[in-house]
Amino acid sequence: MQIAILGPTASGKSALAVAVARRIQASVVNGDPFQALKGLAIGTGQPSPAEQDAVPHVGYGLLPLSTRPNPADFGAAVRGWMDTLPEAVLVTGSGLYLRGIWNQLTTLPDVSPALVGKVRALGARLGPRRLHRYLRTVDPARSAELHPNDLPRIQRALALHLATGGRPSLLLSGVAPVPAVWRVLRVQPTRERQRERVAARVAAQFAAGWPEEARRLKEAGAGPDLEALRPLGYDLLLAQGLPEAELRDRIVQATQAYAKRQATWFRNQLPGMPAWDPDAEPLERAFAKLGI
């Protein structure tokens, strides 16, 4: 039996994963590629040292910032971590990387380096938001999954479209049913509570020193890596001249939009998956839905 706890950021899935791991004497395994990177502990919400002491945690803060995660390679790494453990509880909010972990990625066509270069040049000239609007005209489904500022993924989607003439969302689709050996549970508060949870999480991250974490990374020369990876919020933290209140509000808005896209993906791509509301249902109800 393998267990996966899924859901949007700040939903409470990590706390549930710890509770499940305690109940079945398992380790918590990270399925989020950004939480696997070194140096991003506060901004990506990696479990604190105290939380990691409560039960064994695997896959957090291991990879250098020079890593460029992709779903297939990261999925293979996560499966490798799980293979070393007698019992494991996977936790992730990334649907695409979950496909990689479950080895359900479709084979994507090759895109020529020349075409990739043209799309990157187009992005540099027009900016991410105009490129995102263009993607929306050719593939509304894929554009809805991507933040308008997520230039690398927007460019990859457009390169796939231009190389094949098809919609990237169809090329990236085809998730099989939940593998038979997995028991899954989606953590999903109500929409209003989800928004409140995001705001509280961002406030806690600021109190824990997230701006200082971003500055230390920049001073250490990690600016190019952060620009390439685009982890949520760091671009705003490193921008010049934003008052802290405005900065926090903008990060909250961006995170809420991201959480909405995550929740939509899980509802649409895994429609039969049971859900648990951490604000309305007792913990025992989550255990019952997982059959543990």
Q: What is the CATH number assigned to the segment(s) 113-171?
A: 1.10.20.140
Q: In the beta sheet, which residues pair with residue 276?
A: 187
Cβ neighbours of 196 (radius 10 Å): 15
Beta strands 182-187 and 88-92 are unpaired
- Report residue 14 as tokens: 């990590």
Beta strands 182-187 and 2-6 are parallel
What does the pLDDT read at residue 174? 52
Q: For the chain, give every domain's residue range.
A: 2-105+174-290, 113-171
Helix pair 244-269, 191-207: axis angle to 10 deg: 140
Averaged pLDDT in 10-residue chunks for the chain of 292 residues = 95 96 97 97 92 92 93 94 96 93 78 86 88 91 82 86 83 70 97 98 97 96 91 89 90 94 88 94 98 96
As a residue count, the chain comes to 292
- Each residue's pLDDT tens digit, 183-232: 999 999 999 999 999 999 999 999 999 999 999 999 999 999 998 898 99
Q: What is the CATH number assigned to the segment(s) 2-105+174-290?
A: 3.40.50.300
What does the pLDDT read at residue 56? 96
Write down the pTM of the prediction: 0.82
As a whole number of angstroms, the distance between CA 123 and CA 117 comes to 10
Euclidean distance between the first and final Cα of the chain, in Å?
10
What does the pLDDT read at residue 16? 97
Closest listed residue to residue 153, CA positions, set 168, 138, 164: 168
Q: Are 46 and 60 in contact (CB under 8 A)?
A: yes
In the structure, how many helices (H) and strands (E) does the chain have? 15, 6
